[in-house]
Structure 1
Amino acid sequence: MNANDDVRKSKRFWINFACYSLALLLTLFIIFALYNLINVFVGQAITDKLKALEDQSLHKMIISIGTIGFLYLLVHGTTVQGNLWRSREHDINLFGLNSIPNYFYDKSFDKNGHHLKKKIKELSNQLEKANALLKRSDMQRNKLESNIKDLRSNLSVFIRHHQNTSRIMGSMSFLLEENSGKKVYVDEMLKNVLSESVTVLTKDQSDKSVALFEIKEDQKLHIREYFRIGARSARSRRFKKGEGFAGSIWEKGFAEMVQDVSQDKRFNKKQNGRYSFLSIMGMPIKVGDTIIGVLCIQSENIEGFSEDDLLAIEFYVNVCATLLLYDKIYLLTKEGD
């Protein structure tokens, strides 16, 4: 295979050599023919002018320019003619003889190779610019799609929050009227509020659980109501002020969010080596400046919340505060009776 390639290359070399040699002879013939033709008409006048020049340096310069012009015509004419024969499959038309077979034709030869390379380079540069613009366009499109998605999510949360508010206030009004002077409706309303609260969160709502802690007489947080938490766990959770996550919310007095509980020392693994949840947010339930409880929402995923969730959940915390306050007032009234 390699030997055949070498033979073909050698054969092509000698064919090309013969091609350009013949082109050189033809170019020389044409140049001398033109020279003799010019010499017949104006040659004597040019010769006289050159002899009349007294400045020998100018005379030499003219001779040098003529020599350079001759060499340029010789090289250029040879190259053009040789390239023409190599690139055209037609028979050679030489002095009216158009039946000479063109043995110099080379299918793989490109007489405009330099120009094509230049054109390819220009097209490559244009392609790079187009790709850069396309990449920038894709980034802008992705950013716009992300913004639209966020806007839709926020609008959806806003609409859901409006519907929840209307439903909660309507239920509270109805139950208060139906159970006037009774306490029973408070627990029912708290359960409704907890189930409604998770529907306004921006991320996946199906993995959320809620615990409503109330400060009892023993100065500990007890779970008053819960959503998607086991009954055994709900009855066993007790926190002093500053103890655990709920206790720290009570102590600090402001909302907090932990996106990965494994990175927080306040959380412990269960006996099976896993955490009950992977992220959590908590808000103090206040009446004025007095904290009467803590609302905690847990997620089964890391980074299960966004910063907007703290603002979205504030209304439900206030409703819980109102219900717990009503409950305390009811108890005080009963004790007074």
Structure 2
Amino acid sequence: MDPLTQGLLGASVPQSLTKKQHIVVAGVLGALAGMAPDLDVLIRSSSDPLLFLEFHRQFTHSLLFIPIGSFICALVLHWLIAKPRGLSFKQSWGFCALGYGTHGLLDSCTSYGTQLFWPLTSERFAWNTISVIDPAFTLPILILLVFATLKRNPLLARIALLWGLIYLTLGVVQRDRAEASAWQLVNERQHTPLRLEAKPTFANILLWKVIYETEDKYYVDAIRLGASVKTYSGESIDKLNVTKDFPWLDPNSQQAKDIKRFRQFSNGFLAQDPADKLKIIDVRYSMVPNEIRALWSIKLSHEADASAHVEYTTHRDSAPESRQGFLRMLTDF
């Protein structure tokens, strides 16, 4: 999720549980600790472009790291914020732990993937219930927490937290509806998927991207879930076959290892870019949900030596026709 939402949810929990005289400092500590796990984006390498993919949403987001991460936050924030206002270090640590603990769980509600139980497992959990940015989720929490802080009223913070839980639950209901509709579409096509997933599109839980995998292809479609269900049939693409698509690639080279790393990050949803045969795309994301137009990719090189890394590229699909296509589906106009 975006930092603002992470901070707000992080503030809502300690504010819900504290006394009114501590609601301001509890909110500040919870908000800052709630955003802190995303400092892992600073773990980067100028020589290894995929390093940040491995560490983002890894150890700092693990449920097992909450005591350590919140303790580090408390060490910094107690002396700057809490101690001058009469709180003990134990109270500061508690508020930071409550805020920090919300981060990994909220990120797991998105479709990006979060290593919730690192180092026990490197599995990325993605419950696909909310977009990484969703104003309908964030704005009510923001408004309620502002009034909770101004009025020193923990009840309003509890209502904000309740709204968050209700919205995430609604996301689960919508995801299940999208998957059920997708299975109907699959049956009509007489396909036999190996797996099928539905993901919310940007900033809403009304329009969903559905992706399913067969023996040799990925298929993407869009499904709008209002009072009625509307399906927008989409595109398909061949699954990545490294041996077939890159017969020249040394399997022991760093580029081959980087493909495996990118595959783990992308949960296996990889394909060769039809427009550039040296690119490998993550099929999961696109601006228009029934299209295969990746938001990021890696690029190989024939000339690279055995120790050279791939090139990582992001693609911002800001074309007017893409925005209009997305809005047409979202609004059903």
Structure with higher helix content? 1
Give the alignment's TM-score, normalised by structure 2: 0.21
Larger relative contact order, structure 1 or 2 (CA cutoff 8 Å, min sep 6): 2
Q: Which has the larger radius of gyration?
A: 1
